[in-house]
Amino acid sequence: MLCCLNPDCEKPLNPDTHKHCQHCGLRLVPLLSDRFRILHPLDRGGFGKIYLAEDTHNHHQRCVVKQLAYQSQGTWAIQRAEELFAQEAQQLQQLGKNPQIPTLYAYFTEGANLYLAQEFVEGHTLLKELQQTGIFGEAKIRQLLLNILPVLRDIHVQGVIHRDLKPENIMRRDGDDKLVLIDFGVSRRFTESMLMKTGTTLGSQGYAALEQMQEGKSIPASDLFSLGVSCFQLMTNKVPYTFFLQYGYSWISHWQQHIQIPLSSQLRAILDKLLQNDLRQRYGSAAAVLADLQAQHIVQVPTATPKTLSQLSIAPTKLVTSQPHNKPVPIPPQTTLSAQHPLLKTFQFEVVTVNAKGEIDQRRPKDAAFFQDSLGNGVKLEMVAIPGGQFMMGSPNHELHRDANEGPYHTVKIAPFFLGKFVITQLQWRAIAALPKVLQDLHYDPSKFKGATYPVEQVSWREAIEFCARLSQKTGREYRLPSEAEWEYACRAGTTTPFSYGPTLTSQQANYQGQFTYGHGPKGIYRESTTPVGRFSANNFGLYDMHGNVYEWCLDCWHKNYDGAPVDGSPWMTTKDSDPRVLRGGSWYNKPRYCRAANRSRYTPNNRVNDIGFRVALTLS
């Protein structure tokens, strides 16, 4: 069926053979932006419709397309609307890196309408949950606050206010049971700028704070007020809009009279501070609410659900920029690194090499030295001894798909060091994220693709540096990220071919977009996600997943080529704290050309993506 995109059409579904809507006569569009096939309407908002669609560029994955239809006179107004829509969509794209905010896939204009395409979240809203299961008790309200407050803190630090927080805009996602914030108000910001008439307000009456309704002003505390009202509704099943119509904002001072469930005095005090009309009396930040919740140590959440530990930790929303990060985070002076030299052991592994067609032509048993550090609760970190040596860094001119930034091809000498046998896993990340912070907070469970032995991803460079600092405090050893030269040396492990396995790569040796080939290699599997560490064969040094799975952060700042690069294996830094940092190895999302040992990439140090992780390095005297 083809779906008519007229927001006023009452019967929008049409047979595939029709070119015009059989009800309203509008020309039918088979693919929006030559990409999104509209399946059927889901909902209707004040400025258009919301549709269920499928993304034909992404394996027909289901998504949500929001249509923002507007009526305006004048070219300037239309251009201004599109500019504001683009700015808002770009913000949503950044916010979508938070796993509890739907990812933005695209934004575009078509005809007289604006569109955005977002991740489709399978689940139900808290309003529907209230209607189906009844009012929330204290344990569920605490769980809600501990789950949503870190997300609010994240968006507020980035200068974004939700402005319409209410139970129908909070979804409980199927599968992991986590709460997801939806409807980030593109239409509301757009409306604020375009309607330009007295009395235009943002947010929903009954939920919106006094300053939103009277002045059109939205600040982080405004979202916190709306969160408090949402909690009230979930505890009472009473609609705030009804109270607003009868009593205006005066009902807020008597909210406790309507509570029929038992509430601790501590939670009452927190909710009361959220539900203050006077900004001077209300919480000013999500972090402050979290601090009070966590300081009470009386959280009642189901112990059988792994997510509760994540909810008890503060999300990584405050980016520390007062101290330059061009060097590893220094260990605080009160910490003395006096750990003894570790006891080395030996492990055995198999090395596979392939020919130009990707066929295995050799299997060799090898062994390597390593040691283990305990991260607590039985979690171990395995560090492999990398022998010193000399190698050619970059790629020769004749290498297939070589990029200019991989030259000049040059000699580098590397001193012995240790490197993680695997990229950091989610289990290892959680063990360290639970430790006291050094410079910034760490999200306890940031990854999109869940699994204890899966790589941690959606971790910024700064967060990787913080991880190393906490790990150093824990173990008494100075852990760090590898330099770019150390990483390539360890990846090649004595080879000079594009991949450590040989002249090509197959999906039997690495996790990448296997439907694409390199050289004469075969097509393979595209797994569309990360895979558990260690699934594929190790290289000659005993390191796993050096090609594909997740990109790996290096310590270095980005340079456009190797002119002037260090030749002693040290990291190549700049004086700018905001400069992009180097990424190596390619990922599950990349073609094999980007998984070559010489391939280089980069990203800004604050940003997180679901195909970026890291492994740690260590130099012992």
pLDDT of residue 309: 26
State pLDDT tens for residues 88-121: 666 666 676 788 888 888 888 787 778 888 888 8
Query: Is residue 190 very low, low, confident or very high in pLDDT (cuts 50, 70, 90)?
Result: very low
Query: Which residues are CB-contacts of 183 (< 8 A; sequence separation ≥ 6)?
Result: 164, 169
Q: How far apart are CA 582 and CA 565, in angstroms?
A: 13
Angle at 375 between CA 373 and CA 380, to 5 degrees: 55
What would the pLDDT profile of 395-428 be if each residue is shown by its tens digit? 999 999 999 999 999 999 999 999 999 999 999 9
Of 63-72, 88-97, 293-302, the least confident: 293-302
Does the structure show a pLDDT above 50 at 189? no
Say which range, 35-44, 102-111, 159-168, has the weakest mean pLDDT. Answer: 102-111
* Active-site choice (55, 164, 373, 611): 164
Q: How far is CA 369 from the centre of its chain?
A: 35
CB contact set of 38 (below 8 Å; sequence gap of 6+): 2, 3, 5, 29, 32, 51, 52, 53, 65
* pLDDT score for 298: 38
Distance CA 469, CA 429 (A): 13
For residue 330, whether the previous peptide bond is cis, meaning omega lies within 30 degrees of 0, is no
The confidence band for 70, taking pLDDT boundaries of 50, 70 and 90, is low
Q: Which residue has the tokens 């260590």?
A: 618
Lowest mean per-residue pLDDT among 66-80, 206-220, 310-324? 310-324
Greater confidence (184 vs 117) lies with 117
User: What is the mean predicted confidence (pLDDT) over 117-138?
Assistant: 92
pLDDT at 308: 29
Domains, the chain, ordered by start? 2-119 (3.30.200.20), 124-311 (1.10.510.10), 345-618 (3.90.1580.10)
In this structure, what DSSP letter does residue 437 have? P
Instruction: Say what the pLDDT of residue 198 is.
Output: 32
Tell me whether residue 403 is one of the annotated catalytic residues: no
Tokens of 370: 């390593």
Closest alpha carbon to 289 in 156, 164, 96, 168:
156
Q: Assign 3-class secondary structure to 479-511.
A: EECCCHHHHHHHHHCCCCCCECCECCCCCCCCE
How far apart are alpha carbons 540 and 97 in whole angstroms? 35
CA-atom Rg of the chain in angstroms = 27
Nearest to 289 by CA among 307, 265, 320, 266: 266
Q: What sign has the CA pseudo-torsion 533, 486, 400, 496? A: negative
pLDDT at 139 over 80: yes
DSSP, collapsed to helix, strand or coil, labels residue 612 as strand
Sign of CA dihedral 546, 548, 553, 559: positive
Mean pLDDT of 347-351: 96
Phi, psi of 381 (to 5 degrees): -120, 120
With a pLDDT cut of 70, the percent of the chain lying above it is 84
Give the 3-state secondary structure percentages of the chain, helix then strand then coil, rounded to 5.
Answer: 25, 20, 50
pLDDT tens figures, 357-410:
999 999 999 999 999 999 988 899 999 999 999 999 999 999 999 999 999 999
The C-alpha atoms of residue 548 and residue 583 are separated, in whole angstroms, by 12
The count of other CB atoms within 10 Å of the CB of residue 304 is 6
